[in-house]
Structure 1
């Protein structure tokens, strides 16, 4: 497979890809399958790299490769002597006494190709989302040559809307060395070419796969998915690749939030936060995440009503499936610091919290939001008319947007000093009069 040369792909450093890669934390694993699917979007890991110095060296050179557009050959030439000096090279013995491969030219090529392509596609995903209003149809493109896997060819030319949940599974790369990509099309282009836009919402079939560890011999069960394509074809991504790196990489936003706190100029800090919160690409990404997650929640509720155990397992809300709703405004951040709380500066919504907000109970008592309201959550939290309240008894920040007699309220709970993520735990409709009574009665402090 040819090397991925980012210099030839961009006229300038690929900022989106660089941001994606830099956002990753560090994680240590014995084998590649210990860090499967979307976990790779949040943490950088190399199998069998048990030494943080080794991880730092590899990540540093990958960072340089992304920023400077280095080829695989340049990457290898720079990194090899560093790994040899650290002793991470050649063969070694594992806990069972078997030979394992540490650093080698072949492994460095694999590390380079995998990380370059994943970072590039994550950046491309975000850019495509920013054009979704004018180019709402996405077409899967497989490189048609002797190296292309037959299963990847099955997707070639197929078109789905940008917000079709199938992209969460098939957005490339779909395996080691995958060179597939996605092109965005306008409605006029789709009509002119006579393209059929498919609904892939029911194509994906989740299942549990088994892996035998070469290190220990243990059998591990991991979540995976296959795609059933009409009429009778089946496409299955490589194990660990049935996810979209762009959708999973909300770690980019959390990394940006950490850097915001180090900006000394308060005006520049405030302007940066405002620009981030008003970004059409971010709003589009949040809307897509919300609709896909809410559809999953509703499928889960239908399965629950039908007492369908398989449906419950396949569509249950995923607690680790999260997205950033908004960056915390500077004045609210300072108010929390004054309370002895060290906020993370990002408001994060999990699929589990969304499932709670949209529960049957909340729907029956008419406090649940509709799909459009959930999708606009990111926008109205930053609306100039949104009130920001502090509830001392519960250590909660409330974002309240009044809409006549009914208000939409989002709740962010703070456990105390030092919090990993500012998690939005609930959002629902309340009577506007109840909010006013709480302010007048001293139940809430009005911060904005």
Structure 2
């Protein structure tokens, strides 16, 4: 049996089997990042990354050491003792003058006891929070009320302490942006309760409306090798208490990468829907959620944020769910994917912005839900969705959305205007197969 870490703040999170947390960390890919701000936001939910680690093999070593620590119940000091010789042997230690991604010499701090503590705490707390999130999602029928629990060893953050005991439904929009940890060193957690516990335990039940959530850009620092301002998106949530008073809560810039970020929330909801009522009805339920007013508003905010004068944030918006027929076809092609939801990344959106009008991009979830033809591109292993006729294109043209599994995640990889006649030729040549 695995030992339980002896650090009090980790004991508070380790009151559940850590396998879900281990699975979360194991499932991450790898991302090379130089400055700390390149290793945040939603990309961090899917990728393991450490600032200024420019070698995949070293990232692999660090990630494996953290998984081992979690499996064996190691604390910070034991993990540091195990990983430090590896880092020193590879030269990733101390202050060094190196060549940065801009090709310039730069003196940087690589490995150090302080940096190792940050790496350990950040990855442990996020992975454990993800495991807790998954476990709570499995019990929402009986425990749909989620309660913020403040945990602090010393010097509590007053704004986090103020959240202690606040209860919200599991599907409250608040959790999309503020599922702890919500900043460096945050050790708060969420616990699930029954609906009857609201009255029995005198819980403060709060409901968040979409209009209570605002997004704005903030400068979080400067690039260490270009000197340019680094901009990140920050979320500001209005919290209305039952007595009529109001306050605001903002996760730290970059902390939109928690387990309840859009992709992971939708992935878990879709899995649960399919498990409960089957593929056909489950995907229909998710489609209804994606076309609900709050979700369409969230997508609209994604589009507007992406259009603003700000660097790419590596954000995604869930815009569609695969039809049951598409899922069955993918199985015949032995195509592996985690779940049927389809996401659109801000980078692709900006690259393909001119294909549709801004209004059509805002309406994109409805458009792709109305796709009237779905094909399979055998050469590129892609699903091809044909959107409803767009007035700005000729009668022989169609807007085609290509969707592909990337590390198990169904992503839109291209949006293009194609000639119908060319598609007919590919169908006749069996380059394309008709799905529906």
Which band: TM-score by shorter chain?
0.5 to 0.7
Any unmatched runs of 5+ in structure 1?
Answer: 255-273, 370-388, 399-411, 426-443
Cα distance between partner residues in 2 of 1:16 and 1:223: 29
- Residue 203 of structure 1 corresponds to 212
- Residue 32 of structure 1 corresponds to 36
- Residue 340 of structure 2 corresponds to 347
| Cα offset, 1:391, TM superposition | 5.0
What is the TM-score of this pair, normalised by structure 1? 0.65
CA deviation string 1:382-435 (max 9, x = no partner): xxxxxxx9757998689xxxxxxxxxxxxx97679999854589xxxxxxxxxx
Cα distance between partner residues in 2 of 1:288 and 1:156: 34
- Residue 212 of structure 1 corresponds to 221
Report if aligned partners of 2:374, 2:435 keep a CA contact under 8 Å in 1: yes
- Residue 381 of structure 1 corresponds to none
CA deviation string 1:318-342 (max 9, x = no partner): 97223895799996346436xxxx6
Match of 2:84 among 77, 80, 84: 80
Match of 2:124 among 116, 119, 125: 116
1:336 partnered with 2:345: no
Once superposed, what is the RMSD of the aligned Cα atoms?
4.8
4+ runs of 1 displaced by more than 6 Å? Answer: 251-254, 280-284, 299-302, 326-331, 351-354, 392-395, 415-420, 444-448
Report if aligned partners of 2:69, 2:75 keep a CA contact under 8 Å in 1: yes
**SS state at 1:34 partner:** helix
| Cα offset, 1:357, TM superposition | 3.9
| Cα offset, 1:299, TM superposition | 6.8
Matched residue count: 361
1:240 partnered with 2:254: yes
Any unmatched runs of 5+ in structure 2?
Answer: 1-5, 309-313, 350-360, 386-399, 414-431
Report if aligned partners of 2:21, 2:127 keep a CA contact under 8 Å in 1: yes
Cα distance between partner residues in 1 of 2:321 and 2:105: 48
Match of 1:165 among 160, 169, 173: 173
Cα distance between partner residues in 2 of 1:7 and 1:225: 27
- Residue 24 of structure 2 corresponds to 20
CA deviation string 1:345-397 (max 9, x = no partner): 753323699942436xx9xxxx979xxxxxxxxxxxxxxxxxxx975799868
Report if aligned partners of 2:165, 2:204 keep a CA contact under 8 Å in 1: no
- Residue 295 of structure 1 corresponds to 294
Cα distance between partner residues in 2 of 1:204 and 1:157: 21
What is the TM-score of this pair, normalised by structure 2? 0.67
**SS state at 1:138 partner:** strand
Cα distance between partner residues in 2 of 1:293 and 1:219: 37
How do residues 3-402 of structure 1 correspond to structure 2 at under 5 angstroms? Answer: 5=10, 9-10=14-15, 12=17, 14-93=18-97, 95=100, 99-143=107-151, 146-201=154-209, 202-213=211-222, 215-216=224-225, 217-230=227-240, 231-248=245-262, 250=264, 277-278=274-275, 287=286, 290=289, 294-298=293-297, 320-322=316-318, 332-333=329-330, 335-336=332-333, 344=337, 346-350=339-343, 355-358=363-366
CA deviation string 1:107-149 (max 9, x = no partner): 1111111101000101111111111111111111112553221
| Cα offset, 1:235, TM superposition | 2.3
